[in-house]
Amino acid sequence: MATVLGCIADDFTGATDLAALLARSGVPVSLRIGVPVDGSDDAAPFEVIALKCRTTPVGEALELTRQAFYWLKAAGAKHFFWKYCSTFDSTAEGNIGPVAEMLMAGLGVNQTIYCPAFPQNGRTIFMGHLFVGEQLLSESPMKDHPLTPMRDSSLVRLLVPQVRAKVGLANHLVVMQGPAAVKARLDILASEGVAHVITDAVSDEDLKTIAAATADIPLMSGGSAIAGQLPRFYAERGLIEVHVRKYSGAAPKGGQIVLSGSCSTMTRKQVAYYAGKSASLRLDPLRIASEGVGIAEAWLQERSSKEPKLIFATAEPEEVRKAQEKLGLEEASQVVEKALASLARLAFRSGVRRFVVAGGETSGAITQALGITQLEIGPEIAPGVPWTFAQVEGERVALALKSGNFGDEAFFENAFALLDAA
What is the mean predicted confidence (pLDDT) over 247-253? 75
pLDDT at 40: 78
pLDDT of residue 249: 67
CATH code at position 386: 3.40.980.20
Within-domain flag for 249: no
For the chain, give the percent of residues with pLDDT over 70: 98
Residue 381 has pLDDT above 70, yes or no: yes
Tell me, yes or no, whether 136 and 192 share the same domain: yes
Residues 229 and 263 in one domain: no
Q: Is the separation of the CB atoms in 370 and 345 below 8 Å?
A: yes
For residue 93, the model assigns a pLDDT of 86
Band of the pLDDT at 246, cuts 50, 70, 90?
A: low
Ranges of H-type helices in 276-380: 285-291, 294-302, 317-327, 329-349, 360-369
Asked if residue 244 has pLDDT above 70, the reply is no
Does 313 reside within a domain?
yes
- The reply to whether 208 and 278 lie within a common domain is no
Q: What CA–CA distance (Å, rounded) separates 147 from 320?
A: 10
The reply to whether 273 and 365 lie within a common domain is yes
Average pLDDT estimate for 97-106: 98
89 and 177 part of one domain: yes
Q: What CATH number should be reported for the domain holding residue 171?
A: 3.40.50.10840
134 has a pLDDT exceeding 80: yes
Q: pLDDT-based confidence at 321, cuts 50/70/90?
A: confident
Residue ending a domain, choose from 191, 208, 236: 236
Query: How much is the pLDDT for 148?
Result: 87
Position 332 scores a pLDDT of: 84
pLDDT classification of 201: cutoffs 50, 70, 90: very high
pLDDT of residue 71: 97
344 phi/psi in degrees, rounded to 5: -65, -45
Residue-wise pLDDT for 136-175, tens only, equals: 999 998 888 878 889 999 999 999 999 999 999 999 999 9
Q: Output the average pLDDT for the chain.
A: 94
Regarding whether 396 and 268 lie in a shared domain, the answer is yes
Q: Is 232 part of a structural domain of the chain?
A: yes
% of the chain surpassing 90 pLDDT: 82
Indicate the pLDDT class of residue 247, thresholds 50, 70 and 90: low
- Quick check: is 245 in a domain? no
Tell me: the pLDDT tens digits for 20-69? 999 999 999 999 999 998 887 889 999 999 999 998 999 999 999 999 99
Number of domains in the chain: 2
- Long-range contacts of residues 88-91, Cβ cutoff 8 Å, at least 24 apart: 88/116, 88/130, 88/137, 88/150, 88/155, 88/158, 89/54, 89/142, 89/145, 89/147, 89/148, 89/150, 90/54, 90/55, 90/148, 90/158, 90/162, 91/55, 91/148
Residues 314 and 195 in one domain: no
Which has the higher per-residue pLDDT, 145 or 286?
A: 286
Last residue in a domain, options 194, 209, 236: 236
* Residues 201, 277 within the same domain: no
Higher pLDDT, 329 or 96: 96
Residue 266 is predicted with a pLDDT of 93
pLDDT digits (tens, 9 = 90+) for 261-279: 998 899 999 999 999 999 9
Per-residue confidence (pLDDT) for residue 253, from 0 to 100: 85
Domain boundary at 208, 236, 264, which?
Answer: 236
Q: At residue 245, does pLDDT exceed 80?
A: no
Distance CA 175, CA 233 (A): 17
* Residue 336 CA from chain centroid, whole number: 19
Position 330 in a domain: yes
Average pLDDT over residues 95-107: 98
Q: Is 402 exposed, middle or buried (0-12, 13-18, 19+ CB in 10 A)?
A: buried
Tell me what pLDDT residue 1 has. 61
201 falls within a domain: yes
Residue at 208 is within a domain: yes
353 and 413 inside one domain: yes
Report the pLDDT value the prediction gives residue 189, as an integer from 0 to 100.
98
Please indicate, yes or no, whether residues 227 and 271 belong to a single structural domain of this protein. no
Residue 181, pLDDT score:
98
One domain, residues 18 and 46: yes
Beta pairing partners, 91: 94
Question: Which residue range(s) make up the domain with 162?
Answer: 5-236
- Nearest alpha-carbon partner for 314 in 402, 243, 231, 245: 402
Domain co-membership, 344 together with 222: no
Altogether, the residues listed in the chain come to a count of 422
pLDDT band of 194, cuts 50, 70, 90: very high
* Maximum average pLDDT range among 19-33, 81-95, 203-217: 203-217
